[in-house]
């Protein structure tokens, strides 16, 4: 529903011709997912499928498979976002498609991989977050394990899949790539995993989202909201102490070094919390940002989308529809000398006749 479509959309934004194969009669379930519609599409579907073409094929039929193979014959890659059993049953793996096009790069984006004891288990973002430790690390100690505020697993896996497919296509040899949601998220545990694997240290939830060893690096309450501060080494700590009028903290044995602040986390954070409640969020940002402290007020998505920064970066784009304008978040990959060709998401089967026809004729390009 999200990982595969997001992967394809990233590639479409970068100029690839991306053909979305949908099973009739209803196509992608995302076409009916979400509360809001703009034109003939839900905003959920539009946000993941802009710039693509849609071909409606019944891959369980001989005619549908023949039309699909005709597309594969001139394609660079195939992305699948199904369970391994369905991938093999429908012949969407390299073992089948390599006979049609030996240079085809086949990428299977699954929950738990093409092999292994969980291969054919269903998986969603929520389940992966629960299984690989992310929920257990999110939220305050003693509270309920918490999911992230957005689909971090699906989006991360989509990005990784796009990278893997481009690497395979660049290699030019064809073959089968295996990217799973579970593996992607385990890989993103990097330094936390390394501490456990090499020192048997099990990561724990920290109060206010604090970093496991940088202090201060967390969320603090202010007089009117919340503030995120990240001080990663002692030179910045010294600058911070001078700016907030606490020069004694630079030499206090419990405060002076990163190791000391980590060892004395409770009293250090108590002192900082009392200090930071004394001014508003914006007052602290105005004081500390100019001297190089990494700091930001805790904002909401609506404020971020409407901000001068988002506007300056061109990260909200307008897409013309037949009966209005659709506003979406743009591509995060900006390449000098080119710009994404933002187009609306396709209607179900909109390009079937043009690209696949009624028989298995060769497409123009894929």
- How confident is the model over 205-223, as pLDDT tens digits? 999 999 998 999 999 999 9
Query: Does residue 351 fall inside a structural domain?
Result: yes
Say if residue 78 is in the same domain as residue 155.
Answer: yes
pLDDT the model gives residue 362:
38
Residues 65 and 152 in one domain: yes
Answer yes or no: do 276 and 325 share one domain. Answer: no
Contact in structure between 122 and 111 (CB atoms under 8 Å): yes
Do 288 and 321 lie in a common domain?
Answer: no
Query: pLDDT tens across 226-284, in order?
Result: 999 999 999 999 999 999 999 999 999 999 999 999 999 999 999 999 999 999 999 99
Residue 306 forms part of a structural domain: no
Same domain, 161 and 35: yes
CATH number at residue 8: 3.40.50.10540
| Range(s) of the domain holding residue 96 | 3-189+315-356
Shared domain check, 182 and 108 = yes
The residue ranges of the chain whose pLDDT is under 50 are: 358-366
pTM above 0.75, yes or no: yes
Q: What is the pLDDT of residue 359?
A: 40
Question: What digits encode the pLDDT tens for the residues 302-322?
Answer: 999 999 999 999 999 999 998
104, 148: one domain: yes
Report CA 270 to chain centroid distance, whole Å.
34
* Phi–psi pair at 161, nearest 5 degrees: -65, -40
Does 281 lie in the same domain as 144?
A: no
Residues sharing a CB contact under 8 Å with residue 129, sequence separation 6 or more, in sequence order: 135, 147, 148, 152, 153, 185
CATH number at residue 245: 3.30.1540.10
Total structural domains within the chain: 2
**64 falls within a domain:** yes
DSSP-based three-state secondary structure for 14: coil
Residues 11 and 116 in one domain: yes
- 204 lies in some domain: no
206 domain-assigned: no
Looking at residue 358, what is its pLDDT? Answer: 44
Q: Does residue 319 sit in the same domain as residue 269? A: no
**CA pair distance 141, 213, nearest whole angstrom:** 16
Among 297, 328, 346, the domain boundary falls at 297
What positions carry a catalytic annotation? 154
Q: Identify whether 220 is part of a domain.
A: no
Q: What percentage of the chain has pLDDT greater than the value 90?
A: 91
Residue 207 belongs to a domain: no
Is 119:82 a contact under the CB 8 Å cutoff? no
Are residues 173 and 249 both part of a single domain?
no
Strands (E), 99-174: 105-110
E strands present in the chain: 19-22, 37-38, 41-42, 53-56, 77-80, 105-110, 175-180, 217-221, 226-230, 294-297, 316-321, 324-329
Q: What pLDDT is stored for residue 1 in this prediction? A: 85
Instruction: Tell me: do 251 and 337 sit in the same domain.
Output: no
Q: Would you say residue 203 lies in a domain?
A: no
């Amino acid at each position: 529903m999200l990982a595969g479509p997001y992967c394809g959309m990233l590639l479409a934004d970068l100029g690839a011709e991306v053909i979305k194969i949908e099973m009739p009669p209803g196509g992608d379930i995302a076409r009916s997912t979400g509360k809001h519609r703009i034109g003939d599409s839900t905003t959920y579907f539009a946000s993941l499928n802009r710039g693509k073409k849609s071909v409606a094929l019944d891959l369980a039929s001989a005619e549908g498979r023949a039309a699909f193979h005709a597309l594969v014959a001139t394609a660079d890659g195939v992305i699948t976002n199904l369970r391994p059993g369905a991938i093999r049953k429908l012949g969407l793996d390299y073992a089948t498609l390599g006979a049609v096009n030996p240079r085809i790069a086949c990428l299977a984006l699954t929950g738990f991989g093409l092999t292994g004891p969980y291969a054919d288990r269903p998986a969603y973002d929520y389940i992966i977050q629960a299984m690989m430790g992310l929920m257990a690390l999110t939220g305050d100690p003693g509270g309920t394990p918490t999911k992230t505020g957005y689909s971090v697993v699906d989006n991360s896996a989509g990005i990784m899949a796009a990278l893997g497919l481009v690497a395979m296509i660049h290699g030019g040899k064809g073959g089968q790539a295996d990217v799973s949601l579970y593996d992607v998220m385990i890989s993103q545990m990097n330094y936390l995993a390394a501490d456990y694997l090499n020192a048997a240290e099990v990561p724990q939830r920290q109060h206010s989202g604090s970093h496991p060893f940088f202090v201060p690096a967390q969320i603090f309450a202010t007089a009117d909201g919340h503030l995120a501060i990240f001080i990663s080494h002692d030179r910045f700590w010294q600058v911070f102490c001078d700016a907030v009028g606490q020069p004694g903290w630079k030499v206090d044995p419990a405060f002076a070094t990163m190791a000391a602040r980590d060892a004395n986390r409770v009293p250090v954070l108590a002192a900082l919390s009392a200090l930071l409640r004394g001014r508003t969020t914006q007052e602290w940002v105005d004081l500390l940002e100019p001297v190089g402290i990494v700091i930001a007020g805790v904002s909401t998505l609506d404020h971020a989308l409407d901000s001068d920064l988002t506007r300056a970066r061109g990260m909200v784009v307008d897409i013309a529809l037949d009966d209005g304008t659709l506003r979406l978040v743009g591509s995060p990959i900006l390449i000098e000398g080119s710009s994404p060709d933002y187009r609306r998401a396709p209607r179900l089967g909109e390009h079937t006749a043009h690209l696949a026809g009624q028989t298995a004729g060769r497409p123009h390009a894929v």
